[in-house]
Each structure stands twice: as C-alpha cells, then as structure tokens.
Amino acid sequence: MDAFMETHYMRVMPFLLEGLMYTLLITGVGLFFGFILGAIFGLARLSKSKIIYGIATVYVEVLRGTPILAQILFIYFGLPDVLGFNIDKITASIIAIAVNAGAYIAEIVRGAVYSIDKGQSEAGRSIGLTRGQTMRYIIWPQAFKRMIPPLGNQFVISLKDTSLFSVIAVGELTYMGQQYYGLTFAAFEALTMVCLLYLAITVPASIYLRRVERRLDV
C-alpha cells in the first residue's frame, strides 16, 4: 500500500484536485448563465416578431456553427482589442461556456416548449390568463420536465469542453495533468488519473439524471 501511495498515480492527485475545483467552478457558473441565455433566446426563437426571432437565430447559428476553442480564443485574445481591457482567464472561460452552452440550451428550450400541445395555451387563455401567465404556470413547468434529459447531456458536454481551456493556461483538470507530466514525464499515470476523475463526475451524473427522468416520468 505504501508503495502505491508513492507512485505517480497518487502524487498527481493534489495537482488534479486543484484543477478539478476550477473545472467544476467554470462548468457550474457557466451553465447557470448559459441556462439564462438559453431560456431567453429559446423563447425568442418562438417569437412572432421577425426582429426578435432573427436576433435569436443569428446567436444560435453563430455559436453552434463555430467551435468552442475558437470562441474562447476570440473572447480571451480578440475582445480585449475592442474593449480596451484584458479579460481574466477564468472569467473568459465562464463566458465561453455560458454563450456556447446557451446556444444549445436555446434549442432545447425551444423544442421543449414547442412540443407542448397548443391546446394547453388555449386552455390557459380561456380561463383568463395572459400569454405570460400561461407560459409561466402551464407551459413552462411541463416543458421544463422535458428539458431535463438534454440539459443533463449538456452538463456533461460542457464539463468536458473545459479541457480545451488549457490553451489559455486555465488551471483546470487537464491543464494540471499536463503540468504534472511536464515536470515528471509520467504522462501515462497523470492522464490515466485525469480520465478517471472525469469519469468519476460524468458517470454518477448520468446515473442520477436517469433516476430523475424515471421519477418525473419524462
């Protein structure tokens, strides 16, 4: 046991746990704002206003049509030239996750709301509810249940996408693994533990989401 504790498999763990903290921070905060963006633009994609629909469509298509790696480079290196000030690496990473995930969540929201039978809206209006109240009290609760599986999948995708932020030296999980094997040349051991830590998050998350789906009968 003592011999195992002295191997690179265990020595790398302090590096990786520090990186895991940033990975979860970026993913959690990024998806929080991503859901807000997704809800706004997803509902905008259902708007009868051509202007609102057009703006939302441009956002969704541009963000879904470009790789997140290009987006983080644009946010971290490109935007400061226009804004006149630098953006912190962690902040840039959170923004990248938020705007990228927001585009995909917008389609999740749009699809979920659109899938609710139109009779539900008509029923709400028939009892005197406004369009906003109908959405809030009747359509949205039903639609949100249908969003749970794809939102869970988006969490896993965004979590793995954080590994790309190593290109701007964000101290997330993959980057810290790279730093360790750069010093020790123990690439196999370091990357094995990196993969196991990703799996330690994504596998339980997937199992939990399946249970939630069954409980809600999604």
In a domain, 48, yes or no: yes
Residue 207 lies in a domain: no
Q: What is the pLDDT of residue 214?
A: 77
In a domain, 10, yes or no: no
Residue 190 included in any domain: no
Task: Tell whether 81 is covered by a domain.
Answer: yes
What domain range includes position 88?
A: 25-165
pLDDT at position 4 is: 47
User: How far is it, in rounded angstroms, from Cα 12 to Cα 70?
Assistant: 30
Q: How far apart are CA 184 and CA 67, in angstroms?
A: 32
pTM of the model: 0.90
> How many domains is the chain built from?
1
pLDDT of residue 218: 53
Residue 182 inside a domain? The answer is no
Helix, strand, coil share of the chain (percent; to 5): 85, 0, 15
pLDDT at 173 over 70: yes
The answer to whether residue 60 is domain-embedded is yes
Report pLDDT for 37. 97
In this structure, are residues 180 and 186 in contact, taking their beta carbons and an 8 Å threshold?
Answer: yes
Q: What is the CATH number of the domain that holds 36?
A: 1.10.3720.10
